[in-house]
Each structure stands twice: as structure tokens, then as C-alpha cells.
Amino acid sequence: MELIKRNIHMDCVKCKAQTQMTLEDDMIISDSRPDAAKLIMDRGNVIIEELKITDDHVNVKGKLAFNVLYLAEKGSQDTGRSDVANMEGSIPFDEMVFMEGIKGGDTVNASWDLEDLSINLINSRKMSVQSMISIYLVCEEICDEETAVDLYSQEPVEFRKKTLNIAAMSIKKKDIFRVKEEVEVPGSFPNIFAMIWSEIIPEAVEFKVLEDKIAIQGELRGFFLYRGEGEEEEICHYETTLPFAGSLDCPGAREGMIPEISFTAENREVEVRPDFDGEERVITFEQCLDLDICIYAEEEIDILSDVYGVVKEVSVVEKNAEFRRLITRSSGKTKLAGHFNCEDEKAVLHKILHTASKLQITGKKAVESGIEISGVVNLQVLYECSSEENRYGVIKGTLPFQYVLEAEGIDESCIYPVQAFLDQMTVTIIDNGEVDVKCVLYFRGNVYRSWQERIVEQIVVTEPDMEKMASLPGIAIYMVREGESLWDIGKRYYVPVSVIKKCNDLTSDEVKAGDKILIVKNV
């Protein structure tokens, strides 16, 4: 008697850990930069450089990289007026994180969240940088559940199967998708003398699984602030949105599979090059999307659920196995709006140049009607005003949100990864020192049911208990009890289900409490 088994790949979390650290330092503005009069915009990025894994511990090395756009002191660049400049720097960190159960040789995925970044001027040549960073470490494994799906036996034996609908892990890997683009500033703009500040933000990124490939499409929103050529060295800004599309090779992928793909987009390169006339007007950039790829395949599998013998005693050894299945896919949108005032009461806003935004999910939980998602959108609105002395400034604000993403059938035991994106953001000046912000938040997520299933691990065959066999009647009329099936009756009397059906002229396996069943024992 031989069990026929199949390996089913399921992902599971071996262990995970979280740590929070505070980084702070005073940074000196380099001699090549002008003195600072006022800070305008800032941004931060956490770079994980090394993960060193030992038993129960992970050593995380990296740095906080930051950029600051500031208003230079008047005359500090011999222009006779205030100007803008930028500065970049980094603060290193080296943190030992306790992670119970981790072993050397395991693979750990690290993600981060920049909870807070505060940069302030100490004096015209020194800045104070303070930040709070959360680091999340997860050790995931591909668990091979060796599941019995059939039975081969030369002896008469009865077995039955059970159908499972599962989402099996098919592909798990990391990859990089590079987007290379170039834009030429419009003819009404001056040539580029020096780039001051640039931002490239991927938006509306979507993934689709194809045959041995993953299709990727989205948009890149680029903002460039530069100093123009000429005696005036005019400060110019240019903003554009570029669609992109492409694919990554992914052997084993098939159309219809379920993608769970997240990405970070922190590594980018921006350069200025001459056009066909030799004028510095073309901006080239490469944006890297670092992808964490999980792809599931929905399958219907018949597994062996029980066995009994007819001429011998047959029993099964079972074990618990973890499975998951997709129960629903969901997406939704909600509008968000708010009003913000400029801290500088004397500022007369002339034009909105750019809005930098960061969407942060702070919590999610399963509720009766779906997934309750809460978070904030942090904003930095860069503006230009009519005052030559204080020409540029920023309005900072936070828009909190709470949204229920509909998900039928969800409960607290489900797994529900959620992605959120910003869309259609508009900022309008409604008064001298006040702006109106409107945007759309887009959410999407898959909901999986995770459960434990008893599966057959081993078959045990022994000689029959002759006393027990002899005590069973050769012919009997059995009255079906509540909840019993023909399988239960056949197992009790060591009679095949097919024989019971034949003796009772039954065309299906269905019986109900109170039915009388004729049992004829095999000789």
C-alpha cells in the first residue's frame, strides 16, 4: 500500500521583529554652498546597507539620507537678491535587533518607515537633523506541505478524498525594474545652468501576470527646479508626467495568477545633457523600482482524507498543515480635502510650484464590512510669492484619513495586504496665505483565508482483529443516525461503500437520519 503525495508550496512567517530608533546630528553646510536664511523643503530616505544574521539576532547597518532645499541669505552668491540652494547629507546607524528563532543562513526582508523628520536651522552654516525610524524585519519561508493526494493498493481498501481550493505560492523573489526617460524643457524656458532640486514619483503603478512575464505600467511625475543660463540666472521650475510600461522576465508565471507585488522607489539618477543644438535643455533620469514579488496560483486539489480496510485493519496518521485561499479582491477610492495656512503672515502667494506628498498607513483592521484603513498624507506645498526678499516658501500640513475598503467574508483570522496610492492632487490658492488641497486616495487589496487542515501523513496496515470481525453480523439492518454517512457505516462494518449502495439500490451517497440500510458482510 503506497501513498501518492504532492508538494504544495505555501509561504509562512518564521519570525519577525520591529525596532524604532531616533537619529539626530548637527550638519555643517559645505563651503561650496551659500549661507542659509530659511529652510523650505526637505525629504528623507532610509538606506539599508547590510543585514548580518546570527542566532536570534540581526545586525542592521544603514543610513538616513536627507536633502534640504533652503533660501540663501541675500547677497551670499553675489546676485544681490535671495536665492535657493540645496544641501544633502546622511546619518549612519548600526542597530542590533533581537529576532527570536532566526538562524545564520536564513533570509530576512527589511522594510522601514520614516516616522518623523525634523530639520531646523541653528545658524546660517549649521542645521539640526532629528528623525525617528521604524525598521521591520521578517523572515519568510517557503513551506513544502507534502500532501497525500491518492493511494495505490493491491489489497481491497476504501478511501475518500476532499477537495481544497487553495492559493499556492508559485513564485517568490526580488527584482529591479528600471525606467529610463528623458524630457526637454519647453522652448519658452531658458537653458539649464544648474539643477537645484528634483523629484521623481511613481504613481498608479499596476502589475499583471502574463506567460513567463510580469507586465508593469504606471506614470512618473517629475519636478525639476533649476537655475537658468544668463546674467539673471533665473530660477525656473518644470513639472511633467510621463507614462511608462514594460515587462520583467518571470519564468513559471502564467496568466491568471495572483500578484502580490510591492515596491520601493528610492534610487534614481538625474542628469542634464545637451540637445541637438548643443544647448543644455534635456533632462535624463533613471528610476529604479525595487520589487518584492510574490505570485500565487489558485488551485483545486483533491487530497486523501480518510482510509479504511476491508480485509485488514487500516488506519491513518495525520498532521496539521497550513493552507490559504483567496476569498475576495477589492479596490476603492475616497476623496480627501483640507485647508492650510502659511506660517509667514506677510507672504502673498503668487504661484504654487510643486506639492510633495507622502501617504502613510498607520493602521488597518478587519471590521464587519471590510478593512478599516487609517493613516495620514503629509504635504509640503512649495510656493512662490511676490516678495523678492522672501521669494520662496513652503506650507506644511497633514491630512488624516480613515476608510473602509469593502471585503465580503473577511474576519480577524484573514490575511489582507493593502496598497494605497495618491491620485489627482490639486492645490489652489484661495487667499493670500491660504491654500485648498484636494486629492483622491486609491486602495486595493486581496483577502486570504488562512486555516489548518488535517492531512494524511502515513498509512498503518495491521492484521484484522478476528474477534472484532467475528462479532459483526453477516447481515444487519442499520438505522442511520444524525450526521452519519455511508462512509461512516461502511467503516464500522468493514464493507465497501459501493457494496452498501448496490445492496440498497442507492444511486448517491446521500442518506439521512432514520433511513434503514441493509448491511451484507463480505466473506
Backbone angles phi, psi at 346, to 5 degrees: -85, -10
Alpha-carbon distance values, 80 to 193, 384, 393 (Å): 18, 18, 19
Alpha-carbon distance values, 143 to 5, 417, 447, 470, 495 (Å): 15, 20, 20, 46, 38
pLDDT at 328 over 70: yes
Backbone angles phi, psi at 509, to 5 degrees: -85, 0
**pLDDT tier for residue 26 given thresholds of 50, 70 and 90:** very high
pLDDT at 348 over 70: yes
pLDDT value at residue 82? 55
Per the model's pLDDT, the better-predicted residue between 74 and 188 turns out to be 188
177: left (phi over 0), alpha (psi -120 to 50) or beta: beta
Give mean pLDDT, residues 2-30.
90
pLDDT in tens, 301-312: 999 989 988 888
pLDDT in tens, 398-417: 999 999 999 988 988 899 99
pLDDT value at residue 216? 96
The whole-model pTM stands at 0.84
pLDDT value at residue 144? 82
**pLDDT tier for residue 253 given thresholds of 50, 70 and 90:** very high
pLDDT in tens, 450-496: 898 899 988 888 887 787 777 788 888 989 999 889 999 988 888 99
E strand or H helix that includes residue 244: strand 235-249
pLDDT value at residue 75? 62
pLDDT value at residue 80? 43
405: cell is 475598503
Mean pLDDT value across the chain: 90
Do residues 315 and 346 touch, judged by C-beta distance below 8 A?
Answer: no
For 116, other C-beta atoms within 10 Å of its C-beta total 11
pLDDT value at residue 77? 52
pLDDT value at residue 336? 95
Alpha-carbon distance values, 58 to 18, 52, 135, 290 (Å): 11, 6, 11, 22
Give mean pLDDT, residues 53-73.
93
